[in-house]
Structure 1
Amino acid sequence: MKMPSLKPLLIPLTAITAGSAFVSYKLFNFAFKRVDYVPETSKEKQKYADKYYEYVDWFHSVPSEDWYLNEDNPDQKMVATYIPAQTATKKTVIIAHGYKGNRETMANYAKMFRSMGYNVLTPDDRGHGESAGEYISFGWLDRLDYLQWIHRVIEHVGEDSQILLFGVSMGGATVEMLSGERLPDQVKAIIADCGYSSVEEELTYLLKKQYHLPEYPVEPMVSEINKRAAGFGLESASSVKQLAKNQRPILFIHGEKDTYVPANMAYENYHATHAPKQIWIVKNATHAESFWRDPEAYQERIGEFLNTYMK
């Protein structure tokens, strides 16, 4: 019996493979390559723009210092702003910013924590702001930089420092991923606002939600591209896996109506954590909107958590 020719099948199969590779490279370049500007905020948060720029003006006018890691190496230089508290204190918050943001975009949180009596350190992550880096690592490689920032704070403030780790969106995931490392005793607590459960799960979610693309073969291709470009596969970058090793008290905050990082990821992170933990789902809040909906309630809820773990 004569077997049917495979040639008619090979052409569309080759076309599909080539098309998937093209889409994957385009997606990787869009999502993972650095950009030297801050994209416009979402429509639902544009109503807060005037207030946001008031915070930015404060950020640039308040007494501060520029801090550096690897200052003499342009390819590895990291930059941060240190804002001392109005009254001398041993309490410092290290603030991790969101995706394609920078330290300036965390001005509102910086001002809030300073009003609560904290020194504030706000770094630019790899591939963001004034820090070096060709690619965005979504918190995974950034966690190693934050370990260095922690030691820098201890050197500056003293061995009796009390350090709080705080982050929003990608920054929330950054401090969650950092939580699984061997942290100095000076790190007392963590607050993660709308962090994702893993880079792999977040990308898969957005592929379906925003781009109407299947997980396979796009996500594995993007993961392989990132492994070659940045040195790690997306399956490695997991908040859930790191939180399972966490030993610090942690507060999870998440918007109920978050469609960018869905609230179920907050519950995944919460259930993965064995350390003392609290979760606050903010009603009607979208992605990274919890502070803006009611800044006083946000500060009050954080204050309650810190009164328990950072007296």
Structure 2
Amino acid sequence: MKKILLSIGALFTAVIAIGIVFSNVILFIKKKTDEDIIKRETDDGHDVFESFEQMEKTSFVIPSAYGYDIKGYHVSLHNTPNTIIICHGVTMNMLNSLKYMHLFLDLGWNVVVYDHRRHGQSGGKTTSYGFYEKDDLSEVVSWVQNKTGHHGLIGVHGESMGAATALLYAGDHCEDGADFYIADCPFARFDEQLAYRLKVEYRLPSWPLLSIADFFLKLRGGYRAREVSPLAVIEKIKKPVLFIHSKDDDYIPVSSTERLYEKKPGPKALYIADNGEHAMSYTKNRDAYRKAVQEFLEKINILNP
């Protein structure tokens, strides 16, 4: 009996250790510093940081419903209420959004860049890969609507986790305040993405590790991985969506975007980039990316051809 109790105790301890370790990796994923992001973006040919410093812009602070502040900038260079909101990916911050900012400024739109919870200048203790971030995005959309007097159009561009956040917002929030979305390399389901990364990075099976981690995610973070699923809400999205992914993405497979595109009803478009790894479609295919965005906006009558 003593051996049985010791074995049960050892198993219980192992389960707790696994749950804490894996949920730590997910909830408290290591973030890149400003210096890391600036160096990477500059090395990739995005010379945007000095011009951003010199631009006329307004900083803002928006209270999140979850008890922290969301911080960002409103870049208003054009005499128009039309605004694009840019959502960065996990481990990044709004500095990573600046390359996309210029794309939309060149199209005559004003731009909002901001930091997700637990990233950059914003508050928040954990990362939720869109579960809580979608509600923060709702607050940002409302801020833009109030800023513009509910005039003009609003678009949302998201990269990676930011793309998943945009789709979750569009599908989960009945008000659906934006007029269109651009989702660049989103995952379809977070639980599937975790299982894929476990296999690729650690050569580990998803069961029972993912089930254990999921329990601790709920316990410590308030959500389960399976609850973070753009695929589960994609059929609710009525507004137009441009889906973007590079065919060589080995971090989030292109099949994730293809599944989302196939299931999305109504107006939509798909651009599969020939070059680039994860979240590098714009960097490696700038002209084609710009063309895809412009043609999409013309197709949905946002821009005049």
Contact in 1 for aligned 2:78/2:110 (Cα 8 Å): no
Question: Is the aligned partner of 1:49 residue 2:43?
Answer: yes
Deviation at 1:110, TM superposition (A): 0.9
Contact in 1 for aligned 2:18/2:212 (Cα 8 Å): no
Aligned length: 300
Contact in 2 for aligned 1:56/1:105 (Cα 8 Å): no
> 2:217: which partner in 1?
226
> 1:23: which partner in 2?
18
Give the CA RMSD over aligned residues: 2.6
| TM-score, with structure 1 as normaliser | 0.88
Equivalent of residue 305 in structure 1, options 290, 296, 300: 296
> 2:148: which partner in 1?
157
Equivalent of residue 98 in structure 1, options 89, 97, 110: 89
Contact in 2 for aligned 1:34/1:128 (Cα 8 Å): no
Contact in 2 for aligned 1:198/1:235 (Cα 8 Å): yes
Question: Is the aligned partner of 1:236 residue 2:227?
Answer: yes
Structure 1 residues 267, 185: CA separation in 2 closer, same or farther (over 3 Å shift)? closer
Question: Is the aligned partner of 1:60 residue 2:53?
Answer: yes
Q: Secondary structure at the match of 1:197?
A: coil
Contact in 2 for aligned 1:97/1:103 (Cα 8 Å): yes
> 1:82: which partner in 2?
74
Contact in 1 for aligned 2:275/2:285 (Cα 8 Å): no
Give the alignment of 1:262-281 within 5 angstroms. Answer: 262-281=253-272
Question: AA paired with 1:303?
Answer: Q
Question: Is the aligned partner of 1:70 residue 2:63?
Answer: yes
- In 1, distance between residues paired with 2:113 and 2:12? 43
Contact in 2 for aligned 1:224/1:233 (Cα 8 Å): yes
Deviation at 1:10, TM superposition (A): 7.0
Contact in 2 for aligned 1:34/1:133 (Cα 8 Å): no
Q: Secondary structure at the match of 1:179?
A: helix
Question: AA paired with 2:62?
Answer: L
Equivalent of residue 105 in structure 2, options 94, 106, 114: 114
Q: Secondary structure at the match of 1:180?
A: helix
Question: Is the aligned partner of 1:201 residue 2:195?
Answer: no
Question: AA paired with 1:81?
Answer: Y
Question: AA paired with 2:17?
Answer: F
Contact in 2 for aligned 1:99/1:171 (Cα 8 Å): yes
Deviation at 1:144, TM superposition (A): 0.6
Contact in 2 for aligned 1:178/1:242 (Cα 8 Å): no
Of residues 177-186 and 245-254 in structure 1, the stretch that sits farther from structure 2 once superposed is: 177-186
Question: Is the aligned partner of 1:140 residue 2:112?
Answer: no
Q: Secondary structure at the match of 1:187?
A: coil
Question: AA paired with 2:43?
Answer: A
Question: Is the aligned partner of 1:256 residue 2:250?
Answer: no
Deviation digits for residues 115-165 of structure 1, max 9, x if unmatched? 111111111111111111110010111111111111111111122220111
- In 1, distance between residues paired with 2:45 and 2:200? 30
- In 1, distance between residues paired with 2:158 and 2:41? 22
Contact in 1 for aligned 2:19/2:215 (Cα 8 Å): no
Deviation at 1:265, TM superposition (A): 0.5
Unaligned runs of 5+ in 1: none
Contact in 1 for aligned 2:239/2:267 (Cα 8 Å): yes
Q: Secondary structure at the match of 1:79?
A: strand
Identity of aligned pairs, percent? 26
Q: Secondary structure at the match of 2:137?
A: helix
